Amino acid sequence: MTTNRWPLWLLVASVAFVPAACSDSESEPTTTIAVTTTPPTTVAEHDMSEHEHAGEHDMQGHEGTGHESEVDIMYSDLPADIAAEVAVTKALVEKYPSAADATKAGWQKATINLNGIGAHYLKGGPVGFLNDYEFDAANPNVLLYDGEGPDAKIAGASFILTEPNPTGYTGDLDVWHFHYGVCFDTKKFIVIGEVDGHDGSKINMTSAECTAAGAVVYPIKDLYMIHVWVAPGYIEDAPVFAHDHPKLANGTPTGSTA
Output the DSSP codes for 151-220.
TPBEEEEEEEESSSS---SSSS-S--B--SEEEEETTTTEEEEEES-STT-TTEE-HHHHHHTT-EEEE-
Segment among 58-62, 157-161, 250-254 with least mean pLDDT:
58-62
Average per-residue pLDDT in the chain? 75
Q: What is the pLDDT of residues 36-56, one digit of tens each?
A: 323 333 343 333 333 333 333
Residue 199: predicted pLDDT: 66
Helix, strand and coil in the chain, % to nearest 5: 20, 20, 60
Residue 25 clears pLDDT 80, i.e. is over it: no
> Around Cβ 81, how many Cβ atoms within 10 Å?
10
From the number of C-beta atoms within 10 Å of its C-beta (0-12, 13-18, 19+), residue 123 rates as middle
Beta bridge partners of 4: none
Q: Stretch 93-97: mean pLDDT, rounded?
A: 98
Higher pLDDT, 254 or 186: 186
Residue 138 clears pLDDT 70, i.e. is over it: yes
Residue 218: predicted pLDDT: 87
